[in-house]
Amino acid sequence: MEKALSKIVEVTSDPYAYVAGLKDRTQKKIIGCFPMYVPEEIVHAAGLIPVVIWRGNESVTWGHAHVPAYDCGITRSFVDDAVRGKLSFMDGMVFHVRQCLQVGEFPLIMERNVKPAYQKILYLPPIYKGDSIKSFLLGDLESFKGSLEDFTGKKISDDNLKESIEIYNENRSLLERVYEIRREKPEILRAREVMQIVWSSMLMPKEDHNELLRELINGMEKKSVEPKKDRIKVIPVGCLCQTLQFDILDIIEDLGMIIPDDDLYVGSRYFANKVKLNGDPIEALADRYLVKTPLCPTKGVWDVDWGVEVIKQMKENDAKGIISIRVKYCPPHTCYYPDFKSKMVEEGVPEVMIEMEHEIISLEGVKTRLQSFVETIGGV
């Protein structure tokens, strides 16, 4: 278990070095997929390595010549990394430009300043009513597949795609198992380690990650942990499309709270819902995209209530409160938040919102808010 964890920490501590090394080692092309809904399976089936683009760990400098300071952290950080040449190991990039307005910034900036050998724009539609949504989505995915075939000069067969889907589904099952064990023994891993486990899945070839997860799970199943009954269970929610600052997770735990489950993108949302393989693989990928839960405010779902879903998750985990992590300048989350908050108030669920910026000015304010929150829900 420790060996697997140490590898995961290594991968996520310097994703730039890891992915660049991966390219050298495998001699395969790297395709950066901007989070959250690019179907990586198609890239994998093309014989390429899909990697989910991440928020860097440095302050934005050159990037501000291309995007305004009032864009969200991952937008500014990714553009900064790209124009500074830090992502030169990426042979291609894929953007779902209808996810939010800020993603729409990237293709022109990349085309002018980075010139990846392959760039693809996906329009993946929101989950609105009507058959036209699915048929357009299928067209988009077919076009994605076709563009990768053109790029590699190799056809992607249904069998290639089914094989990739199976590998990805296995990864989802293994991550689910990690989460199951965490629910049974929440003390077994630090929250930052859990996030690193999921993040490493976004960076590593899934075959390698599956192997690592099997080793990790084996260790987790065997390891006995002394339950700390005074810990208060909380569920972090939000932080769409980017990693949360690990320091915030540490503060949550250091204040006497514990996280048995989450509703975070670099968390349970990433591996939720398997691809149901019982026919055409492209259609199966489309069907996974069209699942409305876990609710994502970028997908235009207005007949499922995010608050209700999260409260259900909180109760299933016997948790006492919700910590919303809202990324500064993330309109999808921010537009939803007032109603989410109202639902929490209406249902008497303790909830606090932490605003996260790429460049943290001070964690003291975050700590104070969380301190008063934990006192409110009965901690020390």
Partner 1 sequence: MGTEYKINKLDTSGVGPLVDRHWNELREAKDKGMKIAWCSGPMFIYPYATPNIASHFMAGYAAYCGGRGMGDEVLEAAERFGEMRDTCSYHRLHTGMAAMIMNDWPVSNPQVILPTPDLLIGGRFCTEMSHYMEAIHRRFGMKTVTIELPSARSRDDLPRLEKFVTNQVKETLIPAIEEVSGSKFDEENMRNIFRSWKEACIIRNKCWEFFKRKPTPWTLWDYGVSIAPIFYAMGKPESLEYYQDLLKQLEERVEKNIPAVHPDGEKYRLYWDGWLPWSFLGKVLRIMVPHGAIPIAGRYPWEFFSHPDDIDPEADDIIHEWIRLIYTSPNTLSYYDGPWGGQDKIEELIETYSIDGMLFFSSKTCRMWNLGQQEIIDNIEKKYGIPGVVIDGDMIDSTMFAEDQMRTRIEALLETIDARRK
Give residues in contact with partner 1 (CB under 8 A). Answer: 65-68, 70-71, 97-102, 104-105, 107-109, 112-113, 121, 123, 125-126, 128-133, 135-136, 139, 297-298, 300, 302, 305, 328-332, 334-339, 341-342
H/E segment holding residue 240: none
Query: Where would I find the H helices in the chain?
Result: 2-13, 15-26, 40-45, 73-83, 106-113, 131-152, 158-184, 191-203, 206-222, 246-254, 270-271, 281-289, 306-316, 331-346, 364-376
Which tokens hold the place of 326? Answer: 């809202």
Q: What are the C-alpha distances in Å from 43 to residues 33, 47, 241, 248?
A: 9, 7, 19, 33
Q: How far apart are CA 231 and CA 257, in angstroms?
A: 5
User: For residues 133 and 272, which CB has a smaller minimum distance to partner 1 in the complex?
Assistant: 133
Q: CB of residue 159 vs partner 1: minimum separation in angstroms?
A: 28
Short-list 211, 217, 215, 218, CA closest to 167: 211
Q: CB of residue 177 vs partner 1: minimum separation in angstroms?
A: 34
Q: Rounded to the nearest 5 degrees, what angle is found at the Cα of 131, between the Cα atoms of 44 and 137?
A: 25
Beta bridge partners of 236: 323
User: For residues 68 and 378, which CB has a smaller minimum distance to partner 1 in the complex?
Assistant: 68
3-state class (DSSP) for residue 119: strand
Q: How far apart are CA 72 and CA 356, in angstroms?
A: 10
Q: CB of residue 330 vs partner 1: minimum separation in angstroms?
A: 7
Query: Where would I find the H helices in 185-305?
Result: 191-203, 206-222, 246-254, 270-271, 281-289
User: For residues 123 and 365, which CB has a smaller minimum distance to partner 1 in the complex?
Assistant: 123
User: For residues 143 and 371, which CB has a smaller minimum distance to partner 1 in the complex?
Assistant: 143
User: For residues 185 and 369, which CB has a smaller minimum distance to partner 1 in the complex?
Assistant: 369
User: For residues 122 and 197, which CB has a smaller minimum distance to partner 1 in the complex?
Assistant: 122
Torsion of CA 20, 282, 162, 27, to 10 degrees: -20
Q: How far apart are CA 92 and CA 109, in angstroms?
A: 14
Q: CB of residue 26 vs partner 1: minimum separation in angstroms?
A: 31
Q: CB of residue 349 vs partner 1: minimum separation in angstroms?
A: 16
Q: CB of residue 62 vs partner 1: minimum separation in angstroms?
A: 12
Please list, residue by residue across 27-58, b when 16 or more beta carbons sit within 10 angstroms of its beta carbon and e when fewer do: eebbbbbbbbbbbbbbbbbbebbbbbbbbbee
Q: CB of residue 354 vs partner 1: minimum separation in angstroms?
A: 13
Q: CB of residue 118 vs partner 1: minimum separation in angstroms?
A: 15
Q: Contact 81/242 with Cβ under 8 angstroms?
A: no
User: For residues 47 and 125, which CB has a smaller minimum distance to partner 1 in the complex?
Assistant: 125
Q: CB of residue 110 vs partner 1: minimum separation in angstroms?
A: 10
User: For residues 108 and 360, which CB has a smaller minimum distance to partner 1 in the complex?
Assistant: 108
Q: What is the DSSP secondary structure assignment for residue 186, as one 8-state letter? A: G
Residue pointed to by tokens 């093309």: 46
User: For residues 121 and 189, which CB has a smaller minimum distance to partner 1 in the complex?
Assistant: 121
Q: Rounded to the nearest 5 degrees, what angle is found at the Cα of 310, between the Cα atoms of 309 and 312?
A: 65
Q: CB of residue 335 vs partner 1: minimum separation in angstroms?
A: 4
